[in-house]
Amino acid sequence: MAKASSIKMPDVVQESLLKVYRHGILVEALNPKTALFFLALFPQFFNSEGGKIVM
């Protein structure tokens, strides 16, 4: 069994919150389960006969 003092841990790299946030958005956007979720969720809220949606 190895002693705790002989274990080398990698250095922690500090990243900006903006970079971490952008990485999370990119990962979610490329996740196929996310696309399937939106395709399953949103059609029930739209009426195709209702015309244009004005924001």
What is the pLDDT at residue 9?
83
The mean pLDDT value of the chain amounts to 82
The residue among 29, 49, 50, 47 whose CA lies nearest residue 38 is 29
Does the pLDDT value for residue 16 go beyond 90? yes
Amino acid code (one letter) for 49? E
Does the pLDDT value for residue 1 go beyond 60? no
Q: pTM for the complete prediction?
A: 0.48
